Amino acid sequence: MDFISYGRHTIDEDDIGCVVDVLRSNWITTGPKISEFEDEINRYIGSKYCVAVNSGTSALDIAIQSLSLPTGSEIITTPFTFVATSNSILYNNLIPVFVDIERETRNIDPSEIKKCITKKTKAILIVDYAGHACEIDEIKEIAKINNLYLIEDACHSMGGEYRGGKIGNFADMTIFSFHPLKHITTGEGGAVVTNNEEFYKRLLLARNHGIDKDGKDRFGIDADYAYDMKMLGRNYRITDFQCALGINQLKKLDRFLRDRSRLAQIYNELLKDIKGVELPISKKYVKHPWHIYTILLKDYDRDKIFKDMRKRNIGVNVHYIPIYKFSYYKNSGKIDACFCPNTEQIFKEIITLPLHPGLNEDHIKYISENLLDIIK
Ligand SMILES: *Cc1c(COP(=O)(O)O)cnc(C)c1O
């Protein structure tokens, strides 16, 4: 068996054709494919506005920037995520406050959020870990009562649902990533969706140096040279050939989700009832998009199992090292020393098993059999 990576893009000849067509056209960036991709995302999610950018990290950054919060404001978030989540808070001279997670879903614990709200708290940044939606109703209520913005890092949960609604319709702004490990890819890429026009306008500026016109607006015989720079933005633009790939990938998203779900069910079946192994759950009112499949190894040495699985060409992984453990965070002087007991315990036990649409039932059997062989 060749090395099985834990995640991988799924790209076919049709995708490649779409990219090549754009490379032969007049516009390879700031052209018509950008808004076409954004429109398709809005159509899929049911959102009003979408701004596509060059990465999920950039999307997080401009979403936080668009809140226009006073320097030093606190944003409550989870430590059990990729560093980009809380880095976006630091980019904007704001303070991430890490609160503990629930064991079942590894999502931020609403009761812990309540305990950590101070006068400086201005927003909550949640992550749908592995794709499983957070307790959004409860968190929205907390946000409403305390007058906080809610931002959802949905880099794991594109296509997921919560109580019948698609992820992307709950928070003030929702962020997606199109990195090759995510549900659909543009190589690198990301997007913010929102139903708030004010945020939308700021996001557009923030993506393009803070300038109120893009290349297309200043092209052609009737166009003027003039433009204004209204805020300190960045160049976070995505290219047209990436968006062409994104448009075609989005058509296949529901199929990818079905494939992931089918493979996850096979794991659930093959790994059930094993002493000391806790399988991931999926609450009744959540449609789980299965970005990653993670299990908890309660009675085993996770690091040893990790090494043994890797030796057998199985690309297991660990999601995540709690963010407050990284030296930058420890030494920054900006963040209070932090210890979240559930996060620590889960970090010790968790392992990610390979899951992506390029795998089949035989892969899942091979992985499961080897895991059982190693732990017995
Ligand atoms: C992937 C990911 C990001 C960053 O997305 P990029 O497109 O790689 O910049 C942010 N948050 C989470 C939770 C992610 O998984």
pLDDT of residue 334: 76
Given a contact cutoff of 8 angstroms between Cβ atoms, the answer to whether 168 and 191 are in contact is no
Given a contact cutoff of 8 angstroms between Cβ atoms, the answer to whether 322 and 343 are in contact is yes
> Residue 270: left (phi > 0), alpha (psi -120 to 50), or beta?
alpha
Given a contact cutoff of 8 angstroms between Cβ atoms, the answer to whether 52 and 190 are in contact is yes
* Model pTM score: 0.97
Q: How far is the centre of ligand 1, averaged over its atoms, from the C-alpha of 369 (Å)?
A: 31
In whole angstroms, what is the distance from residue 277 CA to residue 291 CA?
Answer: 20
Residue 279: which of 344, 128, 288 has the closest Cα? 288
Query: What single-letter amino acid sits at 129?
Result: Y
Q: Is 325 exposed, middle or buried (0-12, 13-18, 19+ CB in 10 A)?
A: middle
pLDDT of residue 218: 72
CA gyration radius for the chain?
21
* Closest C-alpha to ligand 1, atom 7: 56
pLDDT of residue 214: 78
Residue 106: which of 124, 132, 141 has the closest Cα? 132
Q: How far is the centre of ligand 1, averaged over its atoms, from the C-alpha of 275 (Å)?
A: 33
Does any ligand 1 atom lie closer than 6 A to the CB of residue 139? no
Over its length of 376 residues, how does the chain's per-residue pLDDT go in tens digits?
899 999 999 999 999 999 999 999 999 999 999 999 999 999 999 999 999 999 999 999 999 999 999 999 999 999 999 999 999 999 999 999 999 999 999 999 999 999 999 999 999 999 999 999 999 999 999 999 999 999 999 999 999 999 999 999 999 999 999 999 999 999 999 999 999 999 999 999 999 999 998 777 777 888 888 999 999 999 999 999 999 999 999 999 999 999 999 999 999 999 999 999 999 999 999 999 999 999 999 999 999 999 999 999 999 999 999 999 999 999 988 787 778 999 999 999 999 999 999 999 999 999 999 999 999 8
* Closest C-alpha to ligand 1, atom 6: 56
- Most informative mutation of 61, 80, 85, 167 for ligand 1 (most atoms within 8 A of CB): 85
* Closest C-alpha to ligand 1, atom 15: 155
pLDDT of residue 245: 98
pLDDT of residue 93: 96
pLDDT of residue 337: 74
Which residues fall within 8 angstroms of residue 247, CB to CB, at 6 or more apart? Answer: 18, 33, 36, 37, 40
pLDDT of residue 221: 82
Does any ligand 1 atom lie closer than 6 A to the CB of residue 363? no
